[in-house]
Amino acid sequence: MNHIVLVGLNHRCAPIELRERLSFRREQLSEAFSRLRTEAGLEESVILSTCNRVEIYASVAELDGTFDRLHRFLSGHGGVDLLDLRARLYSYTQPHSVRHAFMVASGLDSMVVGEHEILHQVKQAYEWAQEHQATGKTLNALFQKALNAAKDVRTQTGIGCGCSSIGTAAVALSEKIFGSLADQTVLLVGVGKIGERTVKSLAGRGVRQIRVMSRSLPRAVTAASLYAATPLSLEALNAQLREADIVITATSAPTHVLGLQDVAEAMSHRPKRPLCLIDLGVPRNVDPSVAALENVHLFDVDDLQGLVNGYAAQRQGAVLEGERIIEQKVGHFLKCNVPLSSALVEVP
């Protein structure tokens, strides 16, 4: 088999301002995979782009120049200075690239350790690469084994207990600010996987006024019906800003859903009444300049880091057991599938 390489960055080595510039939307993947073939010379590739990481996995016959080409590809995609970007990137070949893939899929490398969303995101990234004929024997084997390892970690350890999603962390942050959320009006914008788990967490905390908003009203209706929430279309956003105490955004929109003027106008109708905005989008859903408005408290995914560190410490035993399982799975995969090369590792 070929060499398995990985180039990427995540929440540990790059702030959200950089991650959002490098993120990939689904509609960009066709061109991206085409460029990876022609410009980077990749035989196989998978692009994983989430709120906390952007990573490119690839299979190459020879390592010579591969990392430089991938660095330049990401620099061009994000419009980021190459030297500045290189200082943030990690670049691995096996066994480190294989171990990293297994750790990511299992939620052991996530900001929210054991998060539920990452397994779906890794599977989706792999399926999208397959749709574009970007994978072959090597990456098919890698991602199938990584997904299987992730399921074993989740079923054999307690890694998914407690605060195990970014949406749950957002709700926990809201509780730190407001105390009980029972009497707060919470507006959720976006009902993808993160949004669905956020609604579930809100309902579990006893929130009585949950409003669920989506560009697709039928999707909002479906999500709201499970938890006695109120479904709304995105056209009602500005009006809802006047009423909500907490707004949690989790959309895949390429531009800001909430701008400075939108929030300023809403605040003029609610003098002295604070508004908490928790932005889980990458790219960000809320214009960062909104934070300058009086009585507006804006948080993004990076602001959740300190909160989730405490939850990770509580699950340290499960983390160690998960890592033991991963080491066994990686060793078996390398023995059966991949030639061991001298491991090149570049960590910022």
Q: What percentage of the chain's residues is helix, strand, coil (to nearest 5)? A: 50, 15, 35
For residue 55, what are the contacts with CB-CB under 8 A and spacing of at least 6? 6, 7, 8, 9, 10, 47, 48, 49, 104
24, 32 Cβ separation under 8 angstroms = yes
CA angle 217, 236, 195 (to 5 degrees): 55
Q: Is 276 considered catalytic here?
A: no
**Backbone φ and ψ of 41, nearest 5°:** 65, 30
Task: Say which of 51, 161, 276, 336 is annotated catalytic.
Answer: 51
Q: Is the dihedral of CA 185, 188, 193, 194 positive or negative?
A: negative
Supply angle C-alpha 310, 55, 46, rounded to 5: 130
3-state secondary structure of 126: helix
Residues marked active site are found at 51
